Each structure stands twice: as C-alpha cells, then as structure tokens.
Amino acid sequence: MHYDQIISDTVKSNNSKIVMLVMDGVGDIRSPKFHNKTPLEYANTPNLDRLASESSLGRCIPILPGITPGSGPGHLGLFGYDPLQVTIGRGVLEAVGIGFDLKNGDVAARCNFATMNEQGRITDRRAGRISTEITESLCKKLKSIHEIDGVEIIIEPGKGHRFVTVFRSKDKEIGALINDTDPLEEGKSPITAKGENPPSEFLAGVINKFVQLGYDLLKDEHPANAFLLRGIASKPKIPTMRDKYLLESAAIAAYPMYRGIASLLGMTLLPAADSIEGLFKTYLEYRHKYDFFFIHVKGTDQAGEDGDFDAKVSCIEKVDRALPILLEHTPDVLAITGDHSSPCAMRSHSWHPVPILIHGPFTGADDVAFFHENACNQGSLGFFESKYLMGLLLSNAKRLDKYGA
C-alpha cells in the first residue's frame, strides 16, 4: 500500500474550503549581510504572527534534504504529486503557461529567437531580447509552416524573445526524447535534433526540417534571423486534483509557469490581478465555486533571486497587510508556505526547508507566536516532505477517512 493509494482509498468530499497560499521562494537564511535575520523575521507581520499563534507550524522539505527544486518540482510536491515520480518538461510548462490547450500526445518546445552570423554560428541566443511585439510578428511568418511529414506545427508567441512550438500528430506516434538545439554558448552552431527512440527520431527529423524552413523564412530579419528549441517534452499523463482528491480546484496565479502547472493538474485558472490584494479578492469572489484555491505570490522569489532583501521584506509585508481580505471569510483550512527557499544571500533557489503554517479547526496551536523559519522549527508539524502537505490539508478539512480498522 502506497501513500497515494491510502489517500485515494480514504478520500471523501464535503463542503470545506481549502486555501494554499504559496509565497514563492519565501524561505530564507540569516545572513550577516542582512541584519542576521531572515526576511520573515525582519518583516513587520502582525497578521501572520497572530495567525501563527492559532496554527500548527513546521518546515516543508521541498524534495529531499539538500535538493534544490525548480519551480515545477517545488509546486508538484506542494500539490501532493511526488516530484521524484512526476516530471513536467519545460516545453510543456511553457506551452500551458501561455494558456495553450495541450492535447494528449502533443510535444511542446520552448523556443528563443536568436541571432546567427553568416557562418551559421549563434552570436546572440536571445536576439538582443527583442520585444514581444516583434516576436509576435515573426511568429506570424513562421505560422506559414503548417505541417511537416504529416505533423502539425503550431506556433504561439510568448513574452519577449520567447515562443512555443507544439508538434501534433494524428496518425504517427511522436516522441520527445530529443536534445535541445540550443548550443548554450554563443559562437557555436545550433545543434541538430536527434531522437533516442524511433518515435523521437521521427519527430527529430521533423524538427530539423522545421528549423531549416524557419531559418529560410527569417533570413532577412535582424537581429532575429534564427531560433533555438529547448525543453522538448510530451504532455505528461497525470491525474487531476479532482481525480486524486475529489477537489474542484482553482488557481489564482498571475505568472505563466504557475498557471501552466495548475492547468496541467486540472485547476481552473481564475483571473489574477498583479497586486496581492487583488489575488485575495479573487478568492473572495470565487470562494463558493471551488473547494481548493492555490494562490501564488511571485514577489518573494523574485526578490530572493535578485538578492534584494528589502524587496523581499516589502513583499512579505504586503502579504501581511492584505491578509485580512483573505480572512474576511477564513477558509476552513489555510496553509501558508512556499515551494522552496530563495535566500537573498544566495540569489537563487535553495534546498532549505520552507516555513509552513496550517490554520484550521483541528490544528491546535503551538507555543509559537511568529511565522518565520526558527519559530517554525518548534512547531507540531515537524519537518516533512512537501508531498505530504495535501494529506495534512485534506485531513484537517475532514476529507480523509481513517486507514484500517
């Protein structure tokens, strides 16, 4: 019997509302560069602290000790998809992130417009970071390529110099075990696509023809006279949140990647404002329509990756000030955590356990009246892998029966 099987055997439905507020990269470490306090410690957070005093606290280990997750595995863990078992290719994330409705069997690639010299070498892997508008007009040109060897080619522009290509085949199986064409270093030629098995070999052939045709269409453009494919991946076959948990789920997230992950898990994508107040107001507006809400705050991670301690503190304080909106109709179970830590002193994602707070009628209360890393070390949730969080939320919402007699 596996954990997933226990959940699936014991899960039941009721009218409870669960909210998971993910402050991306919120976890941090004390550093002498930044007052020897973490942003959560340094920030003025009366609302979070009061909530902490009525909640159970702990630390989430995103993957396993010492493993730094990307945003994909970080979020998969939070939603109870074992990030060691379930993987989502980057191309797929990008495609669903711009709202593309991937079908089973589709293969998606993240693409960058790039600059190539007369020797066929890439001189700028991002084509001088051309604007979204230019990318849109170049994509229109590429869209004249509809089909190669019976495989439909679908081009969708993204932000800046980025676009997505989706390969869709009706008759013939296509595979995604294909290398990036991006040489990663400037001064090198794009890499020829190669497949690792017959369906991937077939698609690699299609991709190489697509590259040739596309470069021909762009040859008089400047600076974007080429493009590179990365993260070629098939849409994964994963159960939705409804399948796994009997939850009607919705995502309130402004950024493409998180909307993409949510949509792959079957969440409805709700309108997401840029402001934190706006995110919380969306919850209030839709709270009767769904069982589970994923609310994503991006600013904490951005600040961490920029090494901008003050910006991280400020984002945390904004969340704290907006919290009363969310608590106007307190969800039955509320979790506040992050998908990983992004310490300012590291300017990157990290492996450090993330503070977690669960508030609900059966969480009890710990001897802790602050929401920050060291306070959470003392909590009654202990240290646990993120993949167990959904089980805890379902239990707290009385949505799990007991296991065994």
* Contacts of a second copy in 13-32 (CB under 8 A): 28-31
For residues 45 and 347, what is the distance between their CA atoms, to the nearest angstrom? 23
**Residue 364 touches a second copy, criterion: CB under 8 A:** yes
**Residue 164 touches a second copy, criterion: CB under 8 A:** no
Map residue 286 onto helix, strand or coil.
helix
CA distances to 143, 241, 290 from 322, rounded to whole Å, are: 44, 27, 21
Q: Give the binding-site size for a second copy (rule: CB under 8 A).
A: 71
How many Cβ atoms are within 10 Å of 209's Cβ, its own excluded?
16
**Residue 367 touches a second copy, criterion: CB under 8 A:** yes
- Shorter beta-carbon distance to a second copy: residue 203 or 392: 392
**Residue 276 touches a second copy, criterion: CB under 8 A:** no
Q: How far, in whole angstroms, is CA 148 from its chain's centroid?
A: 32
Q: Taking CA 338 as the corner, what is the angle to CA 335 and CA 341, rounded to the nearest 5 degrees?
A: 150
- Shorter beta-carbon distance to a second copy: residue 112 or 395: 395
Chain positions 386 to 405 lying near a second copy, rule: CB under 8 A, are 388-395, 400-405
For residues 397 and 17, what is the distance between their CA atoms, to the nearest angstrom? 8
**Residue 135 touches a second copy, criterion: CB under 8 A:** no
Map residue 23 onto helix, strand or coil.
strand
Contact with a second copy (CB under 8 A): which of 177, 254, 311, 346?
346
Chain positions 172 to 231 lying near a second copy, rule: CB under 8 A, are 231
Contact with a second copy (CB under 8 A): which of 12, 14, 64, 152?
64
Q: Judge contact between 351 and 341, C-beta under 8 A.
A: yes
- Shorter beta-carbon distance to a second copy: residue 126 or 372: 372
Contact with a second copy (CB under 8 A): which of 71, 249, 282, 300?
71
Contact with a second copy (CB under 8 A): which of 116, 157, 363, 371?
363
Q: Judge contact between 125 and 114, C-beta under 8 A.
A: yes
For residues 303 and 382, what is the distance between their CA atoms, to the nearest angstrom? 27
What minimum distance in Å lies between the beta carbon of 65 and a second copy? 4
- Shorter beta-carbon distance to a second copy: residue 151 or 241: 241
Chain positions 225 to 264 lying near a second copy, rule: CB under 8 A, are 231
Q: Which residue has the tokens 């990647």?
A: 257
Helix (H) or strand (E) holding 59: strand 56-61
Here's the x/- map for a second copy, 324-343, by CB under 8 A: it reads as -------------------x
Comparing CA positions, the residue from 105, 100, 122, 101 lying closest to residue 113 is 122
Q: Could you give phi then psi for residue 112, rounded to 5 degrees?
A: -115, 135
Comparing CA positions, the residue from 364, 358, 276, 356 lying closest to residue 316 is 276
Q: With contacts defined by CB under 8 A, name the span among 43-51, 175-183, 212-220, 350-358 that binds a second copy.
A: 350-358
- The two tokens of residue 221 are 């453009």
What minimum distance in Å lies between the beta carbon of 180 and a second copy? 12
What minimum distance in Å lies between the beta carbon of 362 and a second copy? 6
Chain positions 42 to 61 lying near a second copy, rule: CB under 8 A, are 59, 61
Contact with a second copy (CB under 8 A): which of 67, 184, 273, 284?
67
Comparing CA positions, the residue from 264, 295, 266, 292 lying closest to residue 279 is 295
Chain positions 74 to 133 lying near a second copy, rule: CB under 8 A, are 83-85, 87, 90, 93
What minimum distance in Å lies between the beta carbon of 224 and a second copy? 24
How many Cβ atoms are within 10 Å of 402's Cβ, its own excluded?
7
**Residue 1 touches a second copy, criterion: CB under 8 A:** yes
For residues 35 and 42, what is the distance between their CA atoms, to the nearest angstrom? 8
What minimum distance in Å lies between the beta carbon of 196 and a second copy? 17
**Residue 383 touches a second copy, criterion: CB under 8 A:** yes
